[in-house]
Amino acid sequence: MAANPQPRPERKFTRLRGQYVSAEDLLLYQSDPKREEKLGWTSISASGLAFADTVVCRECGQILTSIATVHLRSHQPPLAGTQKGYRARWLDAPVLSPRAHVNVNKAALKYIAANRQKMRGKSADWRKLPGSKEKIKNQGKRATARRRTDPGPRRATDRKSYAKRKIHRATEGELELFLAYPSNLDYVVCLENLEDGSICRAKLRDIGPAHLPQIHKKTVEQYQEEHPGTPTKAGPKEGRRIGAGKRLDLFITATRSYDHLKATNPKIASYGLVAKKLTPTEYDKDQKSAADRLRQGANYVRENFPALFSL
Ligand SMILES: [Zn+2]
Ligand SMILES: [Zn+2]
């Protein structure tokens, strides 16, 4: 092969070791824990050289990628000396550059994956410590921010946990109502069978555009083939009924409780008694209007959803 000598690329980085920021600069770092972040994690040494992806030791002004314990040992007590001491003295000052942070996290995750059993106990203990509460909260906040800016890597896991915990599920009553009156409501319930034999029960206005394809990997057509006649979208506005959910649920329960009282103990049957049992807080505040609300609700559901009541 013919020699094709390329000019050597100019060396971009000077060796980091032993570089310090100027004394004036150090004062700025000491008074501002966010200085690295503001400067895009690039530090300028006293001799004017720029170092990307670095942090500055608040004790001595050395430019580093991580302020390791080894480095801190050179600072005698009562100065920093230890990680704990350093962090306490320089609250919120970074000890890792962004790249170092990523590397440390990767290494930690690798270690955790290899020592799962041991770590499980450890992290359970840590979570119980009183000082950990705030840290757990902040961890969550940082993770959310990270995912919002870059959802890619965690998307699959996020969807899974969303499917498990975040989807609003219909209650027994809402499901029953939907099965009896699928088109009269301002919500629909997803009837897709899950692996564990239960049904999905997601309660939404429209399960077509996102829920079916993303959670069940199905099109509306496929879903309707398996569940003929089941709507995937709440009816038109004028067809929609009051208070999807909780309130209707309550009215149905109230109506049934009242009917039950009427059948078993007609002398004491009253909506006041039903209100006292079902909405005790409202009842305590104002007995009459609590009872009236339930009576009106009962009339409403009797009229609109008669099939739900045998009496
Ligand atoms: Zn130092
Ligand atoms: Zn579903």
Query: Do 262 and 199 belong to one domain?
Result: no
Query: Do 46 and 84 belong to one domain?
Result: yes
The pLDDT assigned to 125 comes to 86
Query: Do 173 and 209 belong to one domain?
Result: yes
The pLDDT assigned to 80 comes to 54
Ligand nearest the Cα of residue 213 is 2
Reading the block at residue 76, the tokens are: 């005698």
244 Cα to the center of ligand 2, angstroms? 18
220 Cα to the center of ligand 1, angstroms? 62
- Chunked into runs of 10 residues, the chain (311 residues) has average pLDDT values of 52 69 95 94 90 93 91 73 85 92 91 86 85 89 83 74 77 84 84 87 87 88 88 68 62 89 88 91 91 90 82 51
236 Cα to the center of ligand 2, angstroms? 21
Domain boundary among 89, 124, 149: 149
Query: Do 251 and 230 belong to one domain?
Result: no
Q: Are 187 and 245 in contact (CB under 8 A)?
A: yes
Specify if 108 maps to a domain: no
Q: What is the tally of structural domains in the chain?
A: 4
232 Cα to the center of ligand 2, angstroms? 10
Ligand nearest the Cα of residue 71 is 1
**Helices and strands, number each (H, E), in the chain:** 15, 6
User: Using CA atoms, how far apart are residues 2 and 131, in angstroms rounded to an integer?
Assistant: 66
The pLDDT assigned to 233 comes to 87
Specify if 132 maps to a domain: yes
Beta bridge partners of 64: 55
Specify if 159 maps to a domain: no
155 Cα to the center of ligand 2, angstroms? 18
The pLDDT assigned to 1 comes to 45
61 Cα to the center of ligand 1, angstroms? 6
38 Cα to the center of ligand 1, angstroms? 21
Indicate the SS3 state at residue 284.
Answer: helix
Query: Do 215 and 275 belong to one domain?
Result: no
Indicate the SS3 state at residue 201.
Answer: coil
Query: Do 233 and 254 belong to one domain?
Result: no
Specify if 304 maps to a domain: yes
Instruction: Read off the amino acid at residue 38.
Output: K
Domain boundary among 239, 273, 298: 239
208 Cα to the center of ligand 2, angstroms? 10
Query: Do 136 and 86 belong to one domain?
Result: no
Specify if 297 maps to a domain: yes
Q: In terms of residue numbers, what domain contains 31?
A: 23-99
Instruction: Read off the amino acid at residue 288.
Output: K
Query: Do 197 and 223 belong to one domain?
Result: yes
Specify if 273 maps to a domain: yes
The pLDDT assigned to 5 comes to 55
50-51/43-44 β-pairing: antiparallel
Query: Do 137 and 191 belong to one domain?
Result: no
Domain boundary among 183, 211, 239: 239
The pLDDT assigned to 79 comes to 58
Query: Do 256 and 232 belong to one domain?
Result: no
Specify if 55 maps to a domain: yes
Specify if 106 maps to a domain: no
225 Cα to the center of ligand 1, angstroms? 68
Q: Are 308 and 254 in contact (CB under 8 A)?
A: no
